[in-house]
A = this chain, B = another copy of it.
Amino acid sequence: MVLFLVGVGLNNEKDLTLRGLELIEKADKVYLESYTSILSPGASIINLLKEKKLIEADRKTIEENCDGIIAEAKEKNIVLLVVGDPFCATTHSDLVLRSYEQGVKVEVVHNASIISAIGCTGLQVYRFGETVSIPFFEDNWRPKSFYDKIKSNLERGLHTLCLLDIKVKEQTIENMMKNRPIFEPPRFMTINQAISQILAIKEEDNSSLLSQDSLGFGVARVGSEDQLIVSGTLKELIHTEFGGPLHSLVICHPDLHLVERRFFEINKKK
C-alpha cells in the first residue's frame, strides 16, 4: 500500500488537484494537517471529507506518531493532506525518509506553494535569495538570523520572501501544568508585526542596507478571491491593514527591473 502526501494548495478545497481528489476518494484513512484550519475556508476541506475517517493532526502529532502512520501505510492507503506543497516542511521530509527506510512506498502530489506563488507580486521568482522565516519574538527570545539573511540577499541584489510565524495548538502554562487538553486559538503573525520586529532589530544595526525606507510587498491570502497585494516602503506597509490570514512579506532589492517597477507602482497603497 502507499502513503500519499497530497498538497492542498494555498486556500480552499478547489485548490486540490484532480489527482489529489481521486486519491482522497480511494483512501482508507485521511490525515489533515491542522494548519489547514487556518486557511480561509478551512471547513470546506473537512466537508469534502466528511464520509472519510478523517483525523486532524498538528505537525507535532504527525512527528510523534510518525511510525504509527507508516505502520498503517503498510496495510492501507493513507493520505496525509498538507497545506501548500508537501515538501516545504521538514516534518514531512522526515516522514518520507522513514517510510523509504521501512520499505513503504510514498507518492507525492505537488501543489502551489507560496515559494513560487509569490510571483503574483510581479517580482521575478528567479531573483529571490534564500527564504526566511520570521518567528514571534518572546520576552527572552529574539533571534535575528532572518535579519542577517535578508541583508545578505540585499547585498547580492536579491529579494527575500519572509514567511511569517503561525502558532496552532498552543497551551497556556497553566493548562500545560495541569495537563488539560485546552488549546489557545490559532494565531498568525501579521505583516505589521513582522515589520515591527524587523525594525526593532534595525535599531541596533548601523547598516544602511535595510531600513524603514526599504521597499516591500505585503501579500495576504494569496490565490484566494480576496487576496491583497500592497507595495510600499516598510514605513508605509506597517500601517496598512491586511485583514485575515495568511500573510507574507517580501523585502525587495531597491534596484527593481523595469517590469518589477511597474508592478510596484500599480500595487502601491492608494
Contacts and interface: CB of A to CB of B under 8 A. Distances in A.
B119 A125 contact: no
Contacts of A87: 116-117, 119-120, 122, 125
By DSSP majority rule, is chain A's interface helix, strand, loop, or mixed? helix
Tell me how many chains of this kind the complex includes.
2
A111 B19 CA distance: 13
B115 A130 contact: no
Interface residue tally of chain A, by bracket? 35 or more
Nearest to A111: B112
Contacts of A90: 124, 259
Contacts of A111: 9, 17, 111-112
Interface of A: 7, 9-10, 13-19, 21-22, 84-88, 90, 93-94, 96-97, 100-101, 108-113, 115-117, 119-120, 122, 124-133, 152, 156, 158, 222-223, 259, 262-263, 266
10 smallest A-B Cβ distances: which pairs? A87-B119, A110-B112, A113-B116, A14-B19, A115-B116, A110-B117, A14-B18, A85-B116, A126-B131, A110-B223
